Chain A
Amino acid sequence: MSTPSIDIPSETAVRRIVPAINGLWVLLGLIAIMALLPMVASPYALMLMLPFIGYSIALLGFNLLFGTTGLLSFGHALFLGVGAYTAAALTSKFGILSFELLLITAALVSGLVSLVIGVLCVRYTRIFFGMLTLAFGMLFHSFLFKFYGITGGDQGMRVLRPLLLGMEWRGGKTAFLTGPFYYYALILFALLGLAMWRITQSPFGLHLRAIRENDGKAAYVGVQIFRMRLIAFVISAVYGGIGGTILAVTTGLADPELAYWTHSGNLVFMAVLGGSGTFAGPAIGALVFVLLQDFVMSVTQYWRFVMGSVLVLLVVFMPQGLSGTVEALINRRKGGQ
């Protein structure tokens, strides 16, 4: 086994792991700053941070699939939709208000849905995987949109204020969301971030990276490609479901737009904006996306044009995303000294 070709991947593996250790610290640092934010920031800014947390959790999962395994899903908003509608159905139809139960159910439902979809999808890679996931996402969207009786159609479904840790919280909607719910979501984000870090650093994560780099070789040395891809798909869907639940509680509404394909596109946008090659990149991308979108929307009604131009420039000039570019700058500096 001492052929020279073995050296090449091991070299790149080392290069990938070194900045990745910083990735966890970057993420935890971000979370620590956010924990201090309520002392200085306005309720409006805190309300913006909630979708950021929701998207970041979803993107942690999305990037396990995209960055780590190399599968681009263009229908990932489906799982945000599943999480949101699970929360809506449980709170407004079944009267279950415990947030913990909502999270567990959302995770279970999206896990189950993704298992079925995954079995059909992960046999394909590249553009076919993207198209198939997009088709499933739109299938779910048109179900949500057309079946008024079950889903409320384009009106969506209301999501009632949940109980956190079994306790009822008094105060207005904003006080609840920017107070207890904010911290709850943040802690959840930190825990899920740690869990995802463990996943990417485990032998399982190594299997996924091997599949991304060369699935033929990976299969040859005994990686069970189908099973590994499927597990990655299910984990990413569970994260998506949890992220969707947080989004839905924040807006108080689950609507079909959550599962629309352009929403999936936004998820990919965020991941690439932050840099899908790094651990904390997608979360940074979500932060920048949410802030940028809010800023541009306040300045002009033509915010789509601005966001679209940002995307075009990003893809052409900074394909590694923000974190990838910063990383490259640091590496260049280190290399220069």
Chain B
Amino acid sequence: MTELVDVVLGGTFHAAVLFLVAAGLQLVFGVQKIVNLACGSFYALGAYFGITAVGIAIKLGMPPVLFLPVLILAGLAIGIVGLPIERVLRTIYRRDESYQLLLTFGFLLMFQDVFRFLWGATPRTMDNVYMAYGTANFLGVRVPTYNLLVIAASLAIAVGLGLFLERTKTGRIVRATAENRDMAEGLGVNASKIFALVFTVGCMLGTVGGALVVPSGAASLDMAVELVVESFAVVVIGGLGSMRGALVGALVVGLMRAAAISLVPEMEMLSVYLVVVLVLIVRPAGLFGKATA
């Protein structure tokens, strides 16, 4: 029983972070029709920048309780890099997907060395935050309170994002642009502004995800390329462009991995890909995707 709770909690924590990155991927794909391979770089960028931000916060003598808000703010702030990147992406919106994949792949390569240059090649850790919130007792299992806070923060962001897209005027315009760009433009929507907004928000989701995960692990050069395939898996399972799909896909991948690690460690990633392949065979558009293939 405790083992099960352990797996579920670990998996949900991982899923919470995965969801943020995948939601960014979905948002950008839904509106701009671009599969952004650089989403992993945004995630790593958030992680590295989070470490730096907390380092500054410690120097300023902030109490450890404030570190979580500091991380979230750091993620939001560094997410601004999405803006100049969107400028470059703008040149290829109407081109073939292969070019879009390649362009974002180019950014991924560039970011790898930016991290190496700014933060060095050795993984950076930050454990003074992870335990600052103590541990909580959850159904007889002791878990770091931090994990629960991250799950809550991710849920809050999911709800906020949903409300933004469904209930606000800008959200409606974003959805209209996703549905039909030319029609929206015909009705007076400034699509390039919407694209810049959406890409930056998508980028911020990734950087916040990275900033939130770093206290529990480390920021390393590998995390970008590794996360790309994982969030890819989430998106394929959930269905391209669907927010609900991102949520369900993240839970599937997170729980699957956590279960595999405790049962058959060799199957950690293999199990995830097997689910991906299975979903693509049975439901090519994903669980919540529209059949666009």
**Residues of A at under 8 Å CB distance from B?**
66, 72, 74, 120, 123-128, 130-132, 134-136, 138-139, 142-143, 145-147, 260-262, 265, 268-269, 272, 301-305, 307-312, 314-316, 319
For B107, the chain A residues whose CB sits under 8 A away are 308, 312
Counting contact residues on chain B (CB < 8 A from A), the size range is 35 or more
Residue from the list A138, A145, A315 in contact with B106, Cβ < 8 A: A315
Does B60 interact with chain A (Cβ within 8 Å)?
no
Residue from the list B92, B116, B236 in contact with A316, Cβ < 8 A: B92
Minimum distance in angstroms from B95 CB to a CB of chain A: 7
Does B31 interact with chain A (Cβ within 8 Å)?
no
User: Can you add 13 more A-B contacts, CB < 8 Å, to A268-B101, A305-B113?
Assistant: A72-B101, A127-B35, A127-B97, A128-B293, A131-B232, A146-B268, A147-B266, A269-B105, A304-B112, A305-B110, A311-B106, A315-B106, A319-B99
15 cross-chain CB contacts under 8 A: A125-B293, A126-B293, A127-B97, A127-B240, A136-B273, A146-B265, A146-B269, A260-B225, A261-B229, A302-B113, A302-B116, A304-B109, A304-B112, A305-B117, A308-B105
**Residues of B at under 8 Å CB distance from A?**
35, 37, 88, 91-92, 95, 97-99, 101-103, 105-114, 116-117, 225, 228-229, 232-233, 236, 240, 265-270, 273-274, 276-277, 280-281, 284, 293
For A131, the chain B residues whose CB sits under 8 A away are 35, 232, 236, 280
A139-B270 in contact (CB<8A): yes
B280-A302 in contact (CB<8A): no
Q: How far is the CA of A142 from the CA of B270 in the complex (A)?
A: 6
For B103, the chain A residues whose CB sits under 8 A away are 311-312, 315-316
B114 to A, closest residue via Cβ: A305
For A308, the chain B residues whose CB sits under 8 A away are 105-113
For A135, the chain B residues whose CB sits under 8 A away are 232-233, 236, 273, 276-277, 280
Minimum distance in angstroms from A282 CB to a CB of chain B: 13
For A125, the chain B residues whose CB sits under 8 A away are 293
B109-A307 in contact (CB<8A): yes
For B265, the chain A residues whose CB sits under 8 A away are 146
- CB contacts between A and B, total, < 8 Å: 129
B277-A128 in contact (CB<8A): no
Question: Given that A120-B281, A308-B108, A312-B106 are contacting pairs, would A138 and B269 also be in contact in the complex, using a CB cutoff of 8 Å?
Answer: yes
Q: How far is the CA of A123 from the CA of B281 in the complex (A)?
A: 10
A310 to B, closest residue via Cβ: B106
A312-B110 in contact (CB<8A): yes
For B284, the chain A residues whose CB sits under 8 A away are 123-124, 128
Residue from the list B35, B110, B116, B273 in contact with A139, Cβ < 8 A: B273
For B110, the chain A residues whose CB sits under 8 A away are 304-305, 308-309, 312
For A262, the chain B residues whose CB sits under 8 A away are 225
In the complex, which of the residues A123, A305, A308 has the most CB atoms of chain B within 10 Å of its own CB atom?
A308
Question: Given that A128-B293, A305-B114 are contacting pairs, would A315 and B102 also be in contact in the complex, using a CB cutoff of 8 Å?
Answer: yes
Q: How far is the CA of A246 from the CA of B187 in the complex (A)?
A: 58
For A316, the chain B residues whose CB sits under 8 A away are 88, 91-92, 103
B109-A311 in contact (CB<8A): yes
B236-A305 in contact (CB<8A): no
Minimum distance in angstroms from A281 CB to a CB of chain B: 14
A313 to B, closest residue via Cβ: B106
For B91, the chain A residues whose CB sits under 8 A away are 316
In the complex, which of the residues B101, B107, B117 has the most CB atoms of chain A within 10 Å of its own CB atom?
B101
Question: Given that A308-B107, A309-B106, A309-B110 are contacting pairs, would A132 and B280 also be in contact in the complex, using a CB cutoff of 8 Å?
Answer: yes
Minimum distance in angstroms from A89 CB to a CB of chain B: 19
